[in-house]
Amino acid sequence: MVSAIVSASLFLTTIQARAASNKYAAIVVDAKTGKVLHSENADSRRYPASLTKMMTLYLTFEAMKSGRINKNTPVPFSVQAAAQPPTKLGVKAGNSITVEQAIYALITRSANDAAMALAELLGGSQQRFALMMTQKARALGMRGTIFRNPNGLPDDGQFTTARDMATLGIALREHFPQYYPYFSVRSFAYGRQRIANHNKLLGRVRGVDGIKTGYTRASGFNLVSSVQDGNRRIVAVVMGGQSGPSRDSRMTQLIAANMPKASSRGGGALVARADGDTSKRTLASLLLPKKDIPTPDGRPAMADERDTDQLASMIQGAQPTQASADQIGAQAYAEEDQAQGDTEPTPTPVAAVNDGKWVIQVASSPSAKEAKAVLARTQDASAVLADASAYTVPFSKDGTTYYRARFSGFASQVEASKACGALKRKKIACYATQQD
């Protein structure tokens, strides 16, 4: 009886939480047959946020497959690309990275500047690339999607549906099996940084092998997951989550509930296939009225081909150790929030002072235990922290408590920055800030 009451209470709480947010939508599709296994508001318009980058990657993979570009092709950064708001790689205008680095940057950091640079490389301009994205969406049968930019930054004319995002997720795997393993990478080494993948279900939920997270204040927390367990394969979408952890929890529930329903046979014809839509229909659809979608609250502040097995092996070999993977996971929720400026930005440097109030932050986690574990591992990894004091600082966001993992005891900004630099050389992300 008690168990039944508790279960009923938890179910009611879930329903009430979802009803409180008009952003929520979800769908689970059998990726082998196209059968819908679960659907909630699946055809209601929603903001894609960084799920947009899935289409940017689709067109990138298409260009690679055709031989137009390869993984080593330079991707130049224009003034417009370099000026995109965070999260970003921070490449300066006039410099460039490779196509493969840009792919990793989109999948892990969800870098807005790299997405714009790819758009300009492939389309010549943001506007032309956005039209290419929308045309491709129509060709894939994504009838409820309009793209205006390549990265998902707020635009009230850019929208999608959970069903369309599931279609795109299936298409990425079906059409580009040789490139799909990129989505499973846990982290990406760029310069002296190791950049975490925002998708924290990788390696933590059985069968999850990609695809993409997304977040803006207007969209809420979005996630598309591809899952394979034995002969069964599904793609699931959650949009409008109230926090990163709650979104991930809901996705985990959907996977557990629907994977047993998926076909163990299936196969044959592609699930995501072109339907013959024309460019004229695409252009006409740009004029569709905007309804059933949350209103945004403004912009933020500021080939050399290889087969699937070879690429998967290369990516697997690049995975971090368990200790560094755990540390990266602890940092990821805060970094995902920071993508739209919703958490504290990296402090603006000020003149060094000998007040002993400078600290180093190495992680932010929804788990106090995990934050403390990161502190212990980090202190063991570097002698520069031998005399530092480890501590955590709780803060709340969207009803969830997070814990900053910090080291104190630095006499000045210079001293803290020097210690942080030593950590970064060991592939440990950090930044120096003044003590609260």
In this model, does residue 377 exceed pLDDT 80? yes
On whether residue 275 sits in a domain, the answer given is: yes
pLDDT in tens, 157-192: 999 999 999 999 999 999 999 999 999 998 889 988
For the chain, the average pLDDT equals 80
pLDDT for the residue 5: 44
21 is catalytic: no
Tokens linked to 333: 């929720």
On whether residue 11 sits in a domain, the answer given is: no
pLDDT for the residue 254: 97
Q: How confident is the model at residue 399 (pLDDT cuts 50, 70, 90)?
A: low
DSSP 299: -
Higher pLDDT, 129 or 298: 129
CATH number for 395 = 3.30.70.1070
**Cα 362 to Cα 258, 386, 426, distances in angstroms:** 37, 15, 12
* 349 in the same domain as 230: no
pLDDT for the residue 301: 31
On whether residue 55 sits in a domain, the answer given is: yes
* 175 in the same domain as 313: yes
pLDDT for the residue 317: 41
In this model, does residue 330 exceed pLDDT 70? no
* 354 in the same domain as 241: no
pLDDT for the residue 382: 78
* 113 in the same domain as 193: yes
Give the domain extent around 389: 344-434
Please state, in angstroms and rounded to a whole number, the distance separating the CA atoms of residues 322 and 101.
Answer: 23
Annotated binding site for substrate: 212
CATH number for 101 = 3.40.710.10
From 23, 32, 44, 50, active-site residue: 50
When mean pLDDT is compared across 27-31, 68-72, 119-123, 200-204, the lowest value belongs to 200-204
Q: How confident is the model at residue 333 (pLDDT cuts 50, 70, 90)?
A: low
From 44, 71, 110, 365, active-site residue: 110
Higher pLDDT, 340 or 39: 39
* 312 in the same domain as 379: no
On whether residue 325 sits in a domain, the answer given is: no
On whether residue 406 sits in a domain, the answer given is: yes
* 240 in the same domain as 168: yes
- Listed in sequence order, the residues at least 6 apart from 228 whose beta carbon sits closer than 8 Å to its beta carbon are 207, 209
110 is catalytic: yes
On whether residue 322 sits in a domain, the answer given is: no
* 359 in the same domain as 311: no
* 413 in the same domain as 365: yes
pLDDT for the residue 434: 81
pLDDT for the residue 339: 52
pLDDT for the residue 286: 45
In this model, does residue 91 exceed pLDDT 90? yes
From 23, 32, 44, 53, active-site residue: 53
Please state, in angstroms and rounded to a whole number, the distance separating the CA atoms of residues 93 and 102.
Answer: 15
pLDDT in tens, 29-78: 999 999 999 999 999 999 999 999 999 999 999 999 999 999 999 999 99
Number of domains in the chain: 2
Whether omega before 134 lies within 30 degrees of 0, making that bond cis, reads no
Segment (H or E) for 178:
none
On whether residue 66 sits in a domain, the answer given is: yes
Q: How confident is the model at residue 275 (pLDDT cuts 50, 70, 90)?
A: low
264 is catalytic: no
In this model, does residue 20 exceed pLDDT 60? no
* 64 in the same domain as 101: yes
CA 426 centroid distance within chain: 24
Annotated binding site: 212
Mean pLDDT of 207-227: 95
- Listed in sequence order, the residues at least 6 apart from 87 whose beta carbon sits closer than 8 Å to its beta carbon are 109, 110, 111, 112, 335, 338, 339
* 351 in the same domain as 282: no
Q: How confident is the model at residue 266 (pLDDT cuts 50, 70, 90)?
A: low
CB 398 within 8 A of CB 333: no
On whether residue 201 sits in a domain, the answer given is: yes
Please state, in angstroms and rounded to a whole number, the distance separating the CA atoms of residues 116 and 354.
Answer: 42
Q: How confident is the model at residue 428 (pLDDT cuts 50, 70, 90)?
A: confident
* 51 in the same domain as 138: yes
pLDDT for the residue 334: 52
Share above pLDDT 70 across residues of the chain, in percent, rounded to a whole number: 75
* 313 in the same domain as 424: no
User: What angle do helix axes 99-107 and 112-123 make, rounded to 10 degrees?
Assistant: 140
